[in-house]
Amino acid sequence: MTRSLRVRVEPSIKAIPAEAWDACAAVAAESNSQVDPHNPFTTHAFLSSLEDSGAATARTGWGARHLVVEDDAGILAVMPAYLKSHSQGEYVFDHGWAEAFERAGGEYYPKLQVSVPFTPVSGPRLLVRPGPRAAEAREALVAGALEVTKRADASSLHITFPTKAEWEYLTGLGFLARTDRQFHWFNHNYGRFDDFLAALAARKRKTIKREREKALEGVEIVRLTGPELTEAAWDAFFSFYMDTGARKWGSPYLNRKFFSLVGERMGRRIVLIMARRAKRTIAGALNFLGRDTIYGRYWGTTEERPFLHFEVCYYQAIEYAIDHKLARVEAGAQGPHKLARGYVPVPTYSAHYIASPGLRHAVAEYLERERAFVEADREELAALAPFRKDGK
């Protein structure tokens, strides 16, 4: 006899056992010096740190509505979802949609957002435990999210930065398809940083060497992980984060408590790269580790020095990936300037359900044009990659 599936909604991830959540996210337990496989941002530890710190809560406009699919044997699937009263911290921009809908007399907020708050990193969003009921559980997750959208009288449901396979599944169900691009670095079996440089055109190779030499004049680079992530280290980094956040978007999303919590819960999956000069820490970049990827997240400095940003954020991450035989560096959103440093454009995805037929039609037409532009832009940028084309 087939056990029936049940879908429930939880207003906090704390109501869902970490072991069950991570089993759905396909995250294995740590063992010895091995880091967890897959994506660090969909782990219970990361998401609970956002909630427990107060960074992602109803008070900040991120009201958790996490979905759980289960049967009598246990939890089969979960989904990180939030009922939102704004469009901040998502990195897939729908402000224009909201403004147009409200000018027409509609109410765009609340909306349901399936994502990792403040984290423009692609990864699974339909977290389904492997097994004979996986397909059924995935269907129940999506149906549950649509039902939450309806019951909350939300204008829309947005699933941002899913995997390509999830995006194709969702668009096959009728969700509107959106694409964008980021810049990632790929490790082509380089043995050391100089091997990567040898793959570049001579002019680009010389530029990077010059930038690194200039950035490292009188500067020491240290990498902190695990127990090395002391409160003093987080204090220093938080000052960098606040300075950059205030300059870039006015009100930084994360608070000091978040960094302590995530360091405590995920220290072995964090690499904090710090720059020191004259025994004083002057800059830092926070990175998270996945199975085959190092993810650059936040950076900041209290002392402007030529090319220090490129060194701490990009070249150090590349060097770390080569040293640890990781396949890829993902350095976050934005960044055509990354192209000259060996990062290449790759597509990112999002899927959107819009309840209003009129708004849905208008957005669908817009997205069709946008997808064509994004792909043409990505191809043009890819042609400008700094790698050798003539053997020199």
pLDDT in tens, 222-259: 999 999 999 999 999 999 999 876 555 557 899 999 99
pLDDT at 232: 97
pLDDT at 2: 58
Place of tokens 């926070």: 286
Say if residue 11's pLDDT is above 90.
yes
pLDDT at 282: 96
Q: How far from 274 is each of 109, 190, 234, 240, 294, CA to CA, in Å?
A: 40, 24, 11, 10, 16
Instruction: Report whether 45 contacts 266 (CB < 8 A).
Output: yes
Q: Using a CB cutoff of 8 Å and minimum separation of 24, what contacts does 134-141 make?
A: 134/76, 134/77, 136/5, 137/5, 137/69, 137/76, 137/77, 138/77, 138/169, 140/5, 140/7, 140/69, 140/77, 141/7, 141/67, 141/69, 141/77, 141/78, 141/79
Say if residue 177's pLDDT is above 70.
yes
The mean pLDDT of 328-347, rounded to a whole number, is: 90
Say if residue 348's pLDDT is above 50.
yes
pLDDT at 335: 78
**CA-based R_g, the chain, Å:** 22
pTM: predicted TM-score of the whole model, two decimal places:
0.94
Say if residue 219's pLDDT is above 80.
yes
Residue 43: pLDDT band (50, 70, 90) is: very high
pLDDT at 27: 57
pLDDT at 38: 77
Provide φ and ψ at 388, rounded to 5°. Answer: -65, 135
Three-state SS string across the chain, please?
CCCCCEEEEECCHHHCCHHHHHHHCCCCCCECCECCCCCHHHCHHHHHHHHHCCCCCHHHCEEECEEEEEECCEEEEEECEEEECCCCCCCCCCHHHHHHHHHCCCCCCCEEEECCCCCCCCCCCCEECCCCCHHHHHHHHHHHHHHHHHHCCCCEEEEECCCHHHHHHHHHCCCEEEEEEEEEEECCCCCCHHHHHHCECHHHHHHHHHHHHHHCCCCEEEEECHHHCCHHHHHHHHHHHHHHHHHHHCCCCCCHHHHHHHHHHHHHHEEEEEEEECCEEEEEEEEEECCCEEEEEEEEECCCCCCHHHHHHHHHHHHHHHHCCCCEEECCCCCHHHHHHCCEEEEEEEEEEECCHHHHHHHHHHHHHHHHHHHHHHHHHHHCCCECCCCC
The mean pLDDT of 378-384, rounded to a whole number, is: 93
% of the chain with per-residue pLDDT over 90: 89
Say if residue 392's pLDDT is above 80.
no
Which of 65-79, 183-197, 233-247, 299-313 has the weakest average pLDDT? 233-247
Residue 32: pLDDT band (50, 70, 90) is: very low
Sorted by where each begins, the domain ranges of the chain are: 6-181+347-383, 184-345
332 or 392: which leads in pLDDT: 332
The mean pLDDT of 105-128, rounded to a whole number, is: 97
Topology of the domain covering 184-345: Aminopeptidase (3.40.630)
Count how many Cα atoms sit within 13 Å of the Cα of residue 268 in the half-sphere of its side chain.
Answer: 10
- How do residues 349-377 score in pLDDT, each as one tens digit? 999 999 999 999 999 999 999 999 999 99
Say if residue 28's pLDDT is above 80.
no
The mean pLDDT of 190-214, rounded to a whole number, is: 97
Asked if domains 6-181+347-383 and 184-345 share a fold, the reply is: yes
Say if residue 144's pLDDT is above 70.
yes
Residue 30: pLDDT band (50, 70, 90) is: very low
- How does the average pLDDT of the chain come out, rounded? 93
* CA nearest to 282, candidates 312, 257, 246: 312
Residue 334: pLDDT band (50, 70, 90) is: confident
Instruction: Report whether 219 contacts 284 (CB < 8 A).
Output: no
Q: Using a CB cutoff of 8 Å and minimum separation of 24, what contacts does 192-198 make?
A: 192/322, 193/315, 193/318, 193/319, 193/322, 195/322, 196/318, 196/322, 196/342
Gap between the Cα atoms of 286 and 276, Å rounded: 15
pLDDT at 249: 54
Residue 1: pLDDT band (50, 70, 90) is: very low
| CATH architecture for the domain at 6-181+347-383 | 3-Layer(aba) Sandwich (3.40)
- How do residues 249-301 score in pLDDT, each as one tens digit? 557 899 999 999 999 999 999 999 999 999 899 999 999 999 999 999 999 99
Say if residue 343's pLDDT is above 90.
yes
Residue 29: pLDDT band (50, 70, 90) is: very low
pLDDT at 26: 80
pLDDT at 246: 59
pLDDT at 31: 37
